[in-house]
């Protein structure tokens, strides 16, 4: 069920978030209206595409019939939790270093004062914030606890909440696909408009739901035939048409990206090649995809080290400093991501599979 297109997409999305945070820390930010050149400063788009991808992958996994809800949740827990626990421990231990570093940044960064307040809050409220973070429910707590201790984990909290709901939602989609898809679409749009907390699952439910619907459509025979007959020029023109109709706005860009990648993945499954497919399925993008989860959770610590090294060497101009910090952060994050994959992620995944297999083997004997 693994598709190289989606693997490569994960790598680009993690790199997008990394670059946004690194450039912010070096004092760069968007000036003027949203444009293609300023997209690098909007890593939230990447996170939304992650959610679309999660909705798609989890639906495909559950719809295959090989996963019971308990097996599914067990495997997902051991997939995400070991690296998360490592990153959370690092976050708690480094709150003071983050606070000191952000107070000494050589260039004024966007949200710098808010970040400083967040680090100070984390240092003062470790005990009260620890349990919500361990349970991955920090995004259903008060707003100022969402970014404390481990900033990127807010989206992981939403992911876990989605996992808890996914088996029931997929069951409804399998039984009444059209009615469930339509009702769910209307419901998530309505909830999104009335949600006042940007970091609650209600606000991002539309992304997860569109991902789930696109998983159901992935096996639609007529769509497969239609996309197989198209080439990359048609897909690119379709993307431009979507942008022309929807506009380059924060509420539409993630869906446009997802539709294009989804179409490329569907054509990949049917053996249709082309330059667009190569963008996502080349060895570099697939490697970045494999380490993307660890990179996403650990890149902030690599950024911290890169900033400390750059600040210790000399006081250079903003451009030179940014180039050095970006280079160091990318290199350190790739190395840390690979080590985390080998030493933490893969053993955790293997443990989850072993526990599920043991439980499955024990059932006949118990009966």
Q: Quote the CA–CA distance of 238 and 342 in Å, as a whole number.
A: 39
pLDDT value, residue 366: 42
pLDDT value, residue 210: 94
Q: Quote the CA–CA distance of 18 and 305 in Å, as a whole number.
A: 14
User: DSSP letters along 139-174, please?
Assistant: GGS-GGGSSSSSTTHHHHHHHHHHHHHHHHHHHHHH
As a dihedral over the C-alpha atoms of residue 255, residue 257, residue 259, residue 264, rounded to 10 degrees, the angle is -160
Note every long-range contact of 201-208, with CB atoms under 8 Å and residues 24 or more positions apart, other chains counting.
201/139, 201/140, 201/158, 201/161, 201/162, 204/48, 204/51, 204/158, 207/48, 207/51, 207/52, 207/55, 207/254, 208/51, 208/52, 208/54, 208/55, 208/162
Residue with tokens 């270093």: 97
pLDDT value, residue 252: 78
CA distances from 161 to 45, 88, 208, 234 (A): 20, 18, 11, 37
Alpha helices in 26-68 (DSSP H): 43-63
pLDDT value, residue 314: 67
pLDDT value, residue 367: 36
Measured from the Cβ of residue 255, the count of other Cβ atoms closer than 10 Å reads 18
Contact predicate 153/87, CB 8 Å: yes
CA distances from 301 to 18, 304, 330, 335 (A): 11, 5, 11, 12
Q: Quote the CA–CA distance of 139 and 197 in Å, as a whole number.
A: 9
| Three-class DSSP category at 256 | helix
Query: Against a cut of 0.85, is the pTM above it?
Result: yes
pLDDT in tens, the chain (367 residues): 568 899 999 999 999 999 999 999 998 887 666 666 677 888 888 999 999 999 999 999 999 877 889 999 999 999 999 999 999 999 999 999 999 999 999 888 778 898 999 999 999 999 999 999 999 998 886 555 578 899 999 999 999 999 999 999 999 999 999 999 999 999 998 887 776 655 578 888 999 999 999 998 887 767 666 666 667 777 778 777 877 776 666 677 888 889 888 888 887 777 766 787 888 999 999 999 999 999 999 999 999 999 999 988 867 788 899 999 999 999 999 999 999 999 999 999 999 999 998 876 655 544 3
pLDDT value, residue 143: 53
State which H helix or E strand residue 85 sits in: helix 69-103
Contact predicate 149/95, CB 8 Å: yes
Q: Is the dihedral of CA 209, 211, 216, 222 positive or negative?
A: positive
Alpha helices in 218-345 (DSSP H): 221-228, 232-246, 253-269, 275-281, 283-290, 292-313, 318-340
| Residue 136: DSSP 8-state | T
| Assigned token pair, 30 | 């968007």
Contact predicate 48/261, CB 8 Å: no
Classify each residue of 128-149 as buried b or exposed e, where b means 16 or more C-beta atoms within 10 Å of its C-beta: ebeebbeebebbbbeeebbbbb
Closest of 22, 14, 62 to residue 327, by C-alpha: 22
CA distances from 188 to 26, 174, 175, 362 (A): 37, 19, 20, 40
């Amino acid at each position: 069920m693994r598709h190289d297109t989606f693997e490569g997409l994960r790598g680009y999305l993690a790199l997008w978030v990394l670059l946004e945070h690194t450039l912010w820390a070096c004092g760069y930010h968007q000036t003027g209206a949203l444009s293609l050149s300023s997209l690098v400063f909007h890593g939230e788009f990447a996170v939304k595409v992650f959610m679309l991808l999660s909705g798609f992958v989890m639906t495909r996994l559950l719809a295959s019939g090989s996963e019971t809800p308990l097996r599914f949740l067990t495997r997902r827990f051991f997939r995400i939790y070991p690296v998360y626990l490592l990153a959370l421990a690092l976050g708690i231990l480094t709150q003071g270093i983050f606070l000191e570093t952000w107070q000494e940044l050589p260039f004024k960064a966007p949200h710098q004062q808010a970040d400083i307040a967040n680090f100070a809050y984390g240092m003062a409220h470790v005990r009260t914030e620890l349990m919500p973070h361990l349970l991955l429910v920090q995004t259903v707590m008060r707003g100022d606890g969402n970014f404390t201790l481990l900033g990127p984990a807010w989206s992981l909290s939403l992911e876990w909440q989605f996992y808890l709901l996914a088996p029931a939602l997929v069951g409804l989609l399998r039984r009444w696909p059209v009615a469930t898809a339509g009702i769910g679409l209307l419901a998530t749009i309505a909830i999104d408009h009335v949600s006042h907390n940007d970091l609650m699952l209600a606000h991002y439910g539309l992304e997860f739901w569109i991902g789930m619907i696109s998983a159901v459509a992935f096996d639609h025979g007529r769509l497969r035939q239609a996309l197989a007959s198209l080439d990359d020029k048609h897909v690119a023109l379709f993307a431009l048409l979507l942008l022309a109709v929807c506009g380059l706005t924060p509420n539409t860009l993630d869906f446009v990206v997802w539709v294009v990648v989804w179409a490329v993945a569907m054509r990949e499954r049917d053996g249709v090649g082309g330059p667009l497919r190569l963008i996502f399925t080349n060895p570099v993008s697939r490697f970045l995809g494999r380490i993307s989860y660890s990179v996403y959770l650990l890149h902030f610590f690599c950024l911290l080290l890169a900033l400390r090294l750059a600040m210790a060497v000399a006081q250079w101009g903003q451009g030179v400093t940014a180039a050095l910090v970006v280079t160091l952060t990318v290199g350190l994050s790739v190395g840390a991501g690979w080590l985390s994959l080998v030493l933490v992620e893969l053993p955790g995944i293997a443990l989850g599979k072993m526990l599920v297999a043991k439980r499955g083997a024990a059932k006949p004997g118990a009966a």
